[in-house]
Amino acid sequence: MAMSTMLRPLAPALAGLLAVTAGAGAQQDGAMPPPPFVNDPVPRENKPAPPEPFLAPAPPKPAAVPPKPAAKAPPAPAAKAAPVRPDAAAAKPAPGAADPGDDRPAAKPGAKPVEIAGTVPASAAVAGIWLIAPEAGGKGCTVNLEEGLTIGGYGVTGNEGCSGGLAKLKDAFAWDFVGPALVIRDVAQQTLVRVVPQGAGTYAEDKPAGARLLMVKAARGVDRIPTASELFGSWQLRRPGGAAICSLTLQNTPPPGGQESFGLLVADGCDAAVARLKLASWRLEGTLVVLYGTEGGSLSFEPRGAGTFVKAAKEGGKPLNLVKAK
């Protein structure tokens, strides 16, 4: 009884303590929060802790795109080689069959020769009428070397009159250059004549002198190459249809100090235009008879039948003939 009396004043405190203890356990079990302490001057609010803010996951970074390879510039076109074109004295590839004297590979038949703009084609320089005849004298024949293309080179015409030792030239069909040589072939591309340049517009076979054929520019109707032995003697210079204006002697011996020509004597009383040339020597250049002066002047004459030569067109001026004196 006395104990009860002693504990009665403590009852409220014990009850509060028990309530706090029970509230803490209930809070741990998810029960309602305990009432505020009796002796708390400021009631405490038992609010739940604010939730963590929701953070959306960061979007994935896009995969790195590899850089595009740099565009390659198209290759520059290769420079074309300038064709090399030979001049009139040089050779161009032979479009026909290979010739025994040619050490280059033959081009295909009918191949078009290469020409360079601004130059005179070799074919144009050679095209024209040529006389092919024995160097030692004797009848020859003329051929017309054309500028127009054909199979195997350039065309050949006007050879119908070839006969005797040159009858094979009746079959001439084409001509062309092979190295430095000029060749004439038949339709089967067989070589009929092969000549090489000798200077002064003359071509000759590669044979000993006196046993070879010569090819020289000549007018139609000329069928032989004059020889020095036929020309030795007395001659006259005449205007066509007129009297002689000068008498000459074509000697068979060299002039003083010269070995490549023959001596020439001029008679007194020659025309002043002839006298001024101071003619002193002469020689044959192909079919031309050329008279030379001591001071660089000259006169050229081309054949026009037996015993008659006419002044070459390249000389210009008034017509003049060189006629064998009777």
- Return per-residue pLDDT of the chain as tens, 326 residues: 455 555 566 656 555 555 544 454 444 444 455 555 444 444 455 555 555 544 445 555 555 555 555 555 555 555 544 443 434 333 333 444 444 444 434 444 444 444 433 334 677 889 999 999 998 888 999 999 999 999 999 999 999 989 999 999 999 999 999 999 999 999 999 999 999 998 778 899 999 988 899 999 888 788 888 889 999 999 999 999 889 999 999 999 998 877 789 999 999 999 999 999 999 999 988 888 999 999 999 999 999 877 899 999 889 889 999 999 97
CATH number for domain 86-225, candidates 2.40.128.10, 3.40.50.720, 1.10.1060.10, 2.40.30.30: 2.40.128.10
Q: Is the dihedral of CA 91, 177, 147, 220 positive or negative?
A: positive
Strands (E), 218-320: 233-238, 244-250, 262-266, 279-285, 288-293, 298-303, 308-311
Q: Give me the phi and psi of 16, to 5 degrees please.
A: -65, -40
User: What is the C-alpha separation between 140 and 226, in angstroms, rounded?
Assistant: 11
Residues of the chain with CATH 2.40.128.10: 86-225
- The type of residue at 155 is G
Q: Residue 308: helix, strand or coil by DSSP? A: strand
- The type of residue at 204 is A
Six-digit token string for 16: 């509060």
Cα 129 to Cα 113, 125, 234, distances in angstroms: 21, 12, 30
User: What is the C-alpha separation between 199 and 132, in angstroms, rounded?
Assistant: 16
Please give the pLDDT value at position 47: 52
Please name the residues in contact with 247: beta carbons below 8 A apart, sequence gap of 6 or more: 234, 235, 236, 237, 266, 267, 270, 325
Distance of CA 255 to the CA centre of its chain: 48
Q: Which of 274, 285, 260, 266 is nearest to 203 (CA)?
A: 285
User: What is the C-alpha separation between 301 and 295, in angstroms, rounded?
Assistant: 19
The single-letter DSSP state of residue 114 is P
Distance of CA 198 to the CA centre of its chain: 28
- List 213's β-bridge partners, or say none: 134
Query: Vertex 131, ends 150 and 86: CA angle to 5°?
Result: 50
User: What is the C-alpha separation between 177 and 184, in angstroms, rounded?
Assistant: 9
pTM for the model stands at 0.57
Please give the pLDDT value at position 11: 58
Determine contact, residues 174/152, Cβ cutoff 8 Å.
yes
Please give the pLDDT value at position 257: 76
Determine contact, residues 146/174, Cβ cutoff 8 Å.
no
For the CA atoms of the chain, what is the radius of gyration? 59
The second-level CATH assignment, the architecture, of 228-324 is Beta Barrel (2.40)
Q: Which of 285, 282, 322 is nearest to 298 (CA)?
A: 282
